[in-house]
Amino acid sequence: MAEPSFIDQSKLRFREGEIVFRKGEMSQQMYIILAGKVRLYVSEEPKGDWAEELSKGDFFGEGSLLEALPRQHTALALEDSDLIAINRGTFLRMIRQNPEVSVKMMQRLAQRHREVGERLETLDAQRPQKAPGGPVANLISVLGGKPHPILSHGSLIGRFDPTTGVHPDIDLSEEDHNLSVSRRHARILCEHGRYFLLEEPGVANGTFVRGERILPGEPRELKHGDRVGFGMVVLFFEKT
């Protein structure tokens, strides 16, 4: 995927306990782990809750290649680690020269999605309870616990598009720091009290139910407590 000279020029060594980057920092680099382990913490300080623990062959910080956004995690080397730093220009050249890079990246994102979802299943019991008389179904954010009510006739899920003015019923813009959710990503349809998830055409980063990617155009029935993913954004389906 890369020439030895590129690896030599881009390799960085981080000692055990050293911070790779801190939440809130601005950067346009992603990292691939050659050796060692890195943990991504959810706060500015490398302690408390953490999102992922990564090792050789994993990559992180890829969201910075898509848009100039602050880092969403603090990355800490758990042991002496060798990393490759890749900036946006280098990444785009890699994609043009070898399109298989993007395919492998998407495969790894799907695998990571499943792994993270399995570890987050323990949060199911902590999901907020809805008061009587509220919406009959919601999507609940795993990270923030925010409920996204599902309309009785169904809901479009995606990100707000300022160009066309399309505003989905469930807007995941605030939770999708990596821009992995399509503008029109999926729909939840309601029929006789049953809810079905249907992916919209042209979605690149996948739609998942219980860690399994659903096929475009094939509705998947949702059950109470199902873990649902849109790109890299994970929520729980709650039916009251």
Note the pLDDT tens digit of each residue in 93-102.
777 777 776 6
CA distance 170 to 107: 26
Determine the average pLDDT of the residues in 146-164.
86
What number is the average pLDDT over the span 129-155?
A: 77
What residue spans in the chain does CATH classification 2.60.120.10 cover?
Answer: 4-98
pLDDT higher at 179 or 164: 179
Tokens of 24: 């809130």
Q: How many CA atoms lie within 13 A of 189 on its CB side?
A: 11
Q: What's the DSSP call for residue 118?
A: H
Coil vs helix vs strand at 158: strand
Task: Report the alpha-carbon distance of residue 238 to residue 127 in Å, rounded.
Answer: 9
Report the pLDDT value the prediction gives residue 67, as an integer from 0 to 100.
65
Asked if the model's pLDDT at residue 214 lies above 50, the reply is yes
User: pLDDT for 18-62, tens place per residue?
Assistant: 999 998 888 878 899 999 999 999 889 998 888 889 999 888 888
Instruction: Give the bridge partners for 157, in sequence order.
Output: 170, 186
Q: In b/e form, how buried is each residue of 42-69, taking b as 16+ CB within 10 angstroms?
A: eeeebeeeebbebeeebbbbbbbbeeee
Could you tell me if 42 and 49 are in contact, meaning their C-beta atoms sit under 8 angstroms apart? Answer: yes
pLDDT of residue 160: 84
Mean pLDDT in residue range 174-200: 89
126-239 maps to CATH 2.60.200.20 = yes
Sign of the dihedral through C-alpha 29, 103, 216, 135: negative
Helices 88-97 & 100-120 angle (0-180, nearest 10)? 120
CA distances from 79 to 17, 19, 22, 53, 178 (A): 7, 11, 17, 12, 26
The region of weakest confidence among 105-114, 175-184, 208-217 is 105-114
Q: What pLDDT shows up at residue 112? A: 64
DSSP H helical ranges for the chain: 4-10, 63-66, 88-97, 100-120
Residue 8: pLDDT band by 50, 70, 90 thresholds? low
For domain 4-98, give the CATH superfamily: Jelly Rolls (2.60.120.10)
- Residues of the chain within CATH 2.60.200.20 domain(s) are 126-239
pLDDT confidence of 116, banded at 50, 70, 90? low
Check residue 139 and give its pLDDT: 94
In this predicted model, which residue has the larger pLDDT, 5 or 111? Answer: 111
**Average pLDDT over every residue of 209-222:** 90
